[in-house]
Amino acid sequence: MPKLIPQPSIIEAPGHPPKVIREYAGRVNTGASDVSIAHMSSPSGWAEPGQRPDFDEYTLVLAGMLRVESRSGSLDVHAGQAVLCSAGEWIRYSSPGPEGADYVAICLPAFSPDTVHRDDDEPGGTL
């Protein structure tokens, strides 16, 4: 039988200004370690520390624009577009546009503060 997930868990996020993370599936809300699914809302001007995660992250932008920086350049991902960041790749997310960004992130395996490997010297510090 299908299992209803009645509501997300709200998770504190690094970066400035703060963004909202609503985890629907993952280690916090459902105890899942194989996948995490979260709805993110980041305000204009938000940026988080760089990271080199041990998981693949698929991101679907619903509204606004999300900037994804890597060692090879940056991508601006707009509403209706998606991006895949592979495990082990250094990346940094931000929402510099006037609308901020509203997006869904799916991590395989599930996001964990122990496996995201945030930079210590970036804005917002580490988890």
pLDDT value of residue 14: 81
Span 13-32, average pLDDT: 94
pLDDT value of residue 81: 98
Residue-wise pLDDT for 29-85, tens only, equals 999 999 999 999 999 999 999 999 999 999 999 999 999 999 999 999 999 999 999
Residue pair 51/13 in contact (Cβ under 8 Å)? The answer is no
- The domains found in the chain, sorted by start residue, are 9-116 (2.60.120.10)
Residue-wise pLDDT for 85-115, tens only, equals 999 999 999 999 999 999 999 999 999 999 9
pLDDT value of residue 114: 94
